[in-house]
Amino acid sequence: MKLIDDPKPLQKNHLPETIVNRENLVSKLNSGLQGTSNLHIYGERGTGKTHLTQRALSKVNNKTAYIHCIEHDTQYQVLRKILEKLKREPVSTGHHTSELQRQLEDQAEVFDITVVLDELDFLLFNDGDDLLYTLSRTEGFQIATISANIEDLREHIEPRTSSTLQSQKLRFEPYTEEKVYEVLADRASKSLKPQSIHRNALKHISTQTQNLCFGLTWLRTSAETSEDSITETTVRDNRETAVNSYNDSKLARLSNHHKQLYEAVEQLCRENTSVNAGSVYKEYHSLTGETSSLSDRRLSDFLKQLEKLNLINTEYHYGGKKGKTREIELAGIKPTKQSPEL
C-alpha cells in the first residue's frame, strides 16, 4: 500500500463527483428516472450501469427501492424487500405473496414508487415475469430493470407483461480503449502518489479490457503489490491475481452452493484440458458430500448463472450418446474470445 495515498478512487464501487465520459448517460438516466416511463438499462459488465443508476435514483422525488436480484431472486423475496425499504422496518416471512402485493398497492396509493431491479436475469430464472406483470399493472409504480445479458427485454418476458411494462431501452455502450485510459488515469491521479505509475502500465490495461470495474481492480492490485512504481511489467504480472480478486467480488453475493460449484470448476481446470458438466457435478458432490449436495438439474441452473456473471465460459457440442455436452472453463484466465470482456 506504499503507493496508495487514498484507496477510495480505486474501489470499483466508488462514484466520484465528476463522471468521466458518461455525462450523456447521466443526463438520460436522470431524465428517465424522474419521469413516469419504465426503463430497461442494458450494457456489458463494467460500463457503469449499477453505480450511475444508483446515483440517479438518489435524486428521484419518489419513494425508491433498489433490489439486487442475485440476492433476492424470487417474486416473494423481492416483494418483501421492497416493502422493507419503503416501510424502513423488517417484514416477516409469514405473509402470502398476495398479501405482500396488497400491501404494496396500499403503499402506491400514498406515494409514487420507483423500483430498480438489478441483475434481472437471476429473477427471470424463477418467477420474475409474474413480478414484472404485477408491478407494471399497479398504479403508482415505475420500474427500472438492469441487465448485462438481456438487450431486448421483450424476448424474455410474456407478451402480456411486455404490453403493460412497455420499457424504454437505455443502452450503455462499452468503454473504448481511450476512455478506459482516461478514467484510469483520472482515478490514479486521485489515489496514487505522484509519478508512481508509468503511462505504459495504464495503456496496457486499457488495451486489454473494456470492463472498467475489472480495469480498476487490476490497477489497484498492481498498486498494492508494487514497492516503487507501477510499470507495464507490474500490471502484466498481476493480471491473474486481479482476475481472481474480481471474480471473488462477484462470488461474494452468491450462495455457498454457487461458490462450491465454482470451486469444482476451478479444481478441474487445474487438472484437465477439457471439463464438462458431468465432471463438474461429480467434483461438486465430492466437495460437498451427498447429504448437502443439490441435484444435477439445480446445478445446471447454477452453472447458467455463473455463466451469466462471466465467471465461467461454456461451449455446447452436439452429437454422441447424450446428444449435447457442455465444455466449461474459467473466464478470464485461459485465453478465450471473451477474456478481454470479463
- Whether residues 62 and 155 share a domain: the answer is yes
- Whether residues 107 and 197 share a domain: the answer is no
Distances (CA, A) of 203 to 20, 67, 235: 17, 36, 10
Q: Which three cell numbers stand for residue 286?
A: 465430492
Task: Read off the pLDDT band of 215 (50, 70, 90).
Answer: very high
- Whether residues 239 and 153 share a domain: the answer is no
Domain closes at, from 105, 138, 172: 172
Domain closes at, from 126, 148, 172: 172
Q: What is the CA angle 11-339-201, rounded to 5?
A: 55
Q: Which domain holds residue 280?
A: 255-330
Residues in the chain, how many?
342
How many domains would you assign to the chain?
Answer: 3
- Whether residues 124 and 159 share a domain: the answer is yes
Give the DSSP per-residue string, 24-66: HHHHHHHHHHTSSS-EEEEE-TTSSHHHHHHHHHTT-SSEEEE
- Whether residues 229 and 305 share a domain: the answer is no
| Residue 266 phi, psi dihedral angles, 5° rounding | -60, -45
Report the half-sphere exposure of 199 (CA within 13 A, side-chain side): 1
User: How many Cβ atoms from other residues are within 10 Å of residue 13's Cβ?
Assistant: 11
Query: DSSP alpha helices (H): ranges in the chain?
Result: 23-33, 49-57, 75-87, 97-110, 120-124, 128-136, 159-165, 177-191, 199-208, 212-225, 232-237, 239-251, 256-271, 277-288, 296-308
Instruction: Give a yes or no: residue 16 inside a domain.
Output: no
How confident is the model at residue 184, as a pLDDT? 95
How confident is the model at residue 336, as a pLDDT? 31
Task: Read off the pLDDT band of 273 (50, 70, 90).
Answer: low
**70-116 pLDDT per residue, tens:** 999 999 999 999 999 999 999 988 899 999 999 999 999 999 999 99
**104-135 pLDDT per residue, tens:** 999 999 999 999 999 999 999 999 999 999 99
Instruction: Give a yes or no: residue 4 inside a domain.
Output: no
- Whether residues 263 and 232 share a domain: the answer is no
User: How many Cβ atoms from other residues are within 10 Å of residue 174's Cβ?
Assistant: 16
Instruction: Give a yes or no: residue 321 inside a domain.
Output: yes
- Give the domain CATH number at 39: 3.40.50.300
- Whether residues 209 and 304 share a domain: the answer is no
Distances (CA, A) of 106 to 87, 113, 137: 12, 11, 14
How confident is the model at residue 337, as a pLDDT? 37
- Whether residues 141 and 30 share a domain: the answer is yes
